[in-house]
Amino acid sequence: MSGWSIADMPDQRGRRIVVTGANSGLGEQTARALGRAGADVVLACRNVEKAQRVADEIGANATVAALDLADLGSVRAFADGFEGADVLVNNAGVMALPLGRTADGFEMQIGTNFLGHFALTGLILDRIGDRVVTLSSLAHNVARLDIDDLNWERRKYNRWVAYGDSKIADLMMALELADRLRQAGSSTVSLAAHPGYAATELQTRTESPIDWVMKLGNMTPLAQSASDGALPTLYAATAPDAANGTFYGPGSLGGMRGAPAVAGYRSVADDPAVRGRLWATAEELTGVSYGV
């Protein structure tokens, strides 16, 4: 894995890969790289017009499908028309927004980043032939996950903690799914990835003065490009030796930049009791139960 780059990515011809939120940022760069490698790429996005412009630039091997992860009705509609793929990349997300609610009443960040992807994965898992890759973040380290109040109905809202909550929940989902797939003897695997500090549009949509701070940060040497930030995702999605239940991220500067490497994470994500409670709560909230 040392020094892994896009040049090391295997030929993806004959493989179909779904990337959520592929109309911009990390998702766009992931989709473009996979398309260049020959994959049939499905850009599953809320903004289908923007996604179509990206798909047109990728070429005939890219298609667009409507998917709004903040609306379980949209998630179910996508799943109903889904014909199968080799890989699902759970990439889409929102970050540090003011308190808002999804169409189903979930807090917007936990609802979009975690519950939407939890429902999507559960609904189409039987049609994913190879692997599921779910994006987490270094921000999982600031989480104060309260499984009894995932939707911030009792706590005083903190946009950054809420974002961290959604990202540690994504990581727990990926790790728990990996265990369940292993125990079921499935050939499908589950992995997680994070981009380190990658300069994307996501950091400038908090609708607060922090947008300007993030814009300045994105111009420093600390930040890497979105294409470099996509490398851990691409490794997890394509490398033959990417292992079930492994978390990948940049290997330098404390995980903020560099080539993909195995990433560390908070020990709570390995607590089976906590993961089990989160899983059961997600099933209850979304109405989606997994077959593993």
Q: Which of 157, 163, 197, 248 is catalytic?
A: 163
Residues 112 and 72: beta-carbon distance below 8 Å: no
Alpha-carbon separation of residue 27 from 180, 232, 251 (angstroms):
27, 12, 20
**Residue 15: CB partners within 8 Å, gap ≥ 6?**
38, 39, 40, 86, 87, 130
| CA distance linking residue 32 with residue 49, whole number of Å | 16
Q: Please provide the distance, in angstroms rounded to a whole number, between the alpha carbons at the two ends of the chain.
A: 30
Single-letter amino acid, residue 244:
N
Residues 239 and 1: beta-carbon distance below 8 Å: yes
Please give the chain's pLDDT, 292 residues, in tens: 679 999 999 999 999 999 999 999 999 999 999 999 999 999 999 999 999 999 999 999 999 999 999 999 999 999 999 999 999 999 999 999 999 999 999 999 999 999 999 999 999 999 999 999 999 999 999 999 999 999 999 999 999 999 999 999 999 999 999 999 999 999 999 999 999 999 766 544 555 555 444 444 444 556 799 999 999 999 999 999 999 999 999 999 989 999 999 999 999 999 999 999 999 999 999 999 998 8
| CA distance linking residue 143 with residue 168, whole number of Å | 7
Would you call 240 helix, strand, or coil by DSSP? coil
Would you call 84 helix, strand, or coil by DSSP? coil
| CA distance linking residue 78 with residue 81, whole number of Å | 5
Kindly tell me the sign of the dihedral angle through the C-alpha atoms of 117, 122, 123, 129: positive
| CA distance linking residue 52 with residue 71, whole number of Å | 21
Residues 118 and 286: beta-carbon distance below 8 Å: yes
pLDDT of residue 223: 77
Distance of CA 95 to the CA centre of its chain: 12
Three-class HEC string of 254-268: HHCEEEEEECCCCHH
Q: Determine whether 290 is an active site residue.
A: no
- Domains of the chain in start order, with CATH, are 10-285 (3.40.50.720)
